[in-house]
Amino acid sequence: MSIISIIAAITASTAAEPSVVILPETSHYQECIALIKVDIEDGRRAAQQWVSEGGGADARHCLALADLEGGFPRLAAARLEEIAQRKDAGDDFVRARVLAQAAEAWLKAEETSHAERTIQEALVLVPDAGELQLTAAKVYAALERWQNVINAVDAAEQAGIVSAETFVLRGRAYYSFGNYETAAQDVVSALSIAPTNIEALLLRGDLQQTGIVIDVYYGGPDETNQ
């Protein structure tokens, strides 16, 4: 089998994973999130206290994140779905983002059917949101619906939103269809964003077994041209 060499010059990338601000970051919300990062148990208790004192969607969102961080993804997912139904959660775009978080929590809980339902609800609210397609791609990958993975990552990329993780998922989808060269291009794209992404490196190894060699140079453009 002939070997195809694809050169990936890994430099500082202009592509970045999207930062997602879900709810308005009030000082109380910021303090709640900060406490979770320092001590999950104290943070979770503080979030529960804030909710019991009448905190609104932001208090409940902090508690949901504490649940997720504390190893209770099912509870976190249920809370996030409940938040998305609240009037004080925000507009449709914010609610869709909360539902996308719920879908990811369901994935962590290995509840793929719930994850699919929830991300579909999010896409109904905001059909053209590229960032939601990133979560959709993860859900479809968990379900091994590879053509849906490709479609979701294509939609996100067209909207200008990319992620190393979802490039790998699309690459894995192309690999499953035997389209190894296109899969390799997605590996290159993923490594250009995250040079040490484990899943990208694993897929690179799988592709090598098919005769696709991805030579990666971790240097600047001038170095690769010498």
Domain C-terminal end among 144, 161, 178? 161
**CATH assignment of the domain containing 7:** 1.25.40
182: containing domain: 1-17+162-226
Average pLDDT over residues 3-10: 46
pLDDT at 90 (0 to 100): 84
Neighbours of 8 (CB within 10 A): 22
Mean per-residue pLDDT over the chain, rounded: 86
pLDDT at 28 (0 to 100): 87
The model's pTM? 0.83
pLDDT at 148 (0 to 100): 97
Domain C-terminal end among 111, 145, 161? 161
Q: Is the pLDDT of residue 16 over 50?
A: no
Average pLDDT over residues 102-127: 96
At 225, the pLDDT band (50, 70, 90 cuts) reads very low
Question: N- to C-terminal Cα distance for the chain?
Answer: 29
Question: Cα dihedral angle (190, 196, 197, 203), rounded to 10 degrees?
Answer: 80
Q: Is the pLDDT of residue 179 over 80?
A: yes
**CATH assignment of the domain containing 93:** 1.25.40.10
